[in-house]
């Protein structure tokens, strides 16, 4: 009965003191040690204790929501990608998840790249490793990737292992990888009689040559649909036609 009363208090998410956290970490470590003694391979997974510990149940329920991209401990306050191996070690009592990166929170070095890439995903969560492989092949560093999502709010979708669709400022682009270079494709659109850009589902080559992916990102950043539409309005050229 005592355990039940404690659980009720935890459900109200009252801040825990450091001693309690340390104690819970020690308990958890002891449990892992015991499991390791009984099994040859150490077991990191916990057994969900439905109906017994509300904090554990809450952690499990949060983790089941795939769009909760990141996890952290209220005590340590280090942001992890949801797939990071440290997530399992966060005590259930201090466990939190968030859909967006919390800018002021330090990031875990181990899962930093995954966390950056995940911030541009809109689904397809379980294929995160394929997304990471794409950007690894593209030769883009975390520093190059971060502004794409943080400042340009790009959204990405992997069409094939070597083909990524990228949305920036309402325009759609496709980056097709060939070793360490790529082809850059841009969505077709036409100008309506009202002078508005109407996007089509088809794509055209934006650049005649294969270029480095970092260069392709530069072209995406520099592109302005509005500016292009203004030019067409002024000159009258391209109205009703597919335009680059
Ligand atoms: Zn991590």
pLDDT in tens, 99-109: 999 989 999 99
Instruction: Tell me, in angstroms, the distance from the centre of ligand 1 to residue 221's CA.
Output: 30
The arithmetic mean of pLDDT across residues 235-243, rounded, is: 47
Instruction: Tell me, in angstroms, the distance from the centre of ligand 1 to residue 94's CA.
Output: 16
pLDDT tens, position by position, 14-57: 444 545 544 655 666 566 556 655 555 555 555 555 557 899 99
150 has a pLDDT exceeding 70: yes
Instruction: Tell me, in angstroms, the distance from the centre of ligand 1 to residue 128's CA.
Output: 14
8 has a pLDDT exceeding 50: no
pLDDT tens, position by position, 155-198: 999 999 999 999 999 899 999 999 889 999 999 988 888 878 88
Instruction: Tell me, in angstroms, the distance from the centre of ligand 1 to residue 102's CA.
Output: 14
What's the pTM? 0.71
Q: What does the pLDDT read at residue 2?
A: 47
Instruction: Tell me, in angstroms, the distance from the centre of ligand 1 to residue 134's CA.
Output: 20
12 has a pLDDT exceeding 70: no
pLDDT interval class at 130 (50, 70, 90): very high
Q: What residue ranges do the domains of the chain occupy?
A: 2-98, 112-243
Tell me the two tokens of residue 63: 């983790």
Q: What does the pLDDT read at residue 10?
A: 47
Instruction: Tell me, in angstroms, the distance from the centre of ligand 1 to residue 200's CA.
Output: 40
Instruction: Tell me, in angstroms, the distance from the centre of ligand 1 to residue 108's CA.
Output: 4
Instruction: Tell me, in angstroms, the distance from the centre of ligand 1 to residue 140's CA.
Output: 20
143 has a pLDDT exceeding 70: yes
Q: What does the pLDDT read at residue 88?
A: 96
Q: What does the pLDDT read at residue 120?
A: 96
Instruction: Tell me, in angstroms, the distance from the centre of ligand 1 to residue 81's CA.
Output: 6
Instruction: Tell me, in angstroms, the distance from the centre of ligand 1 to residue 115's CA.
Output: 9
Instruction: Tell me, in angstroms, the distance from the centre of ligand 1 to residue 114's CA.
Output: 9
Instruction: Tell me, in angstroms, the distance from the centre of ligand 1 to residue 9's CA.
Output: 29
């Amino acid at each position: 009965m005592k355990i039940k009363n404690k659980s009720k208090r935890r459900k109200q998410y009252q801040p825990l003191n450091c001693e309690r956290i340390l104690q819970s970490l020690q308990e958890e470590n002891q449990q892992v040690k015991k499991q390791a003694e009984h099994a040859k391979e150490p077991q990191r997974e916990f057994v969900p204790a439905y109906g017994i510990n509300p904090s554990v149940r809450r952690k499990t329920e949060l983790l089941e929501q795939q769009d909760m991209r990141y996890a952290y401990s209220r005590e340590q306050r280090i942001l992890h990608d949801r797939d990071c191996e440290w997530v399992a070690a966060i005590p259930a009592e201090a466990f939190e998840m968030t859909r967006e990166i919390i800018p002021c929170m330090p990031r875990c070095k181990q899962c930093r790249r995954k966390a950056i890439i995940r911030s541009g995903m809109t689904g397809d969560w379980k294929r995160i490793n394929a997304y990471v492989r794409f950007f690894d092949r593209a030769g883009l560093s975390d520093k190059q990737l971060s502004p794409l999502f943080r400042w340009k709010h790009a959204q990405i979708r992997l069409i094939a292992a070597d083909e990524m669709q990228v949305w920036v400022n309402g325009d759609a682009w496709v980056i097709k990888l060939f070793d360490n270079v790529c082809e850059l494709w841009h969505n077709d659109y036409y100008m309506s009689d009202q002078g508005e850009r109407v996007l089509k589902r088809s794509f055209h080559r934006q650049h005649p040559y294969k270029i480095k992916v970092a260069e392709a990102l530069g072209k995406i950043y520099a592109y302005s649909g509005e500016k292009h539409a203004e030019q067409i309005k002024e000159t009258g050229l391209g109205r009703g036609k597919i335009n680059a």
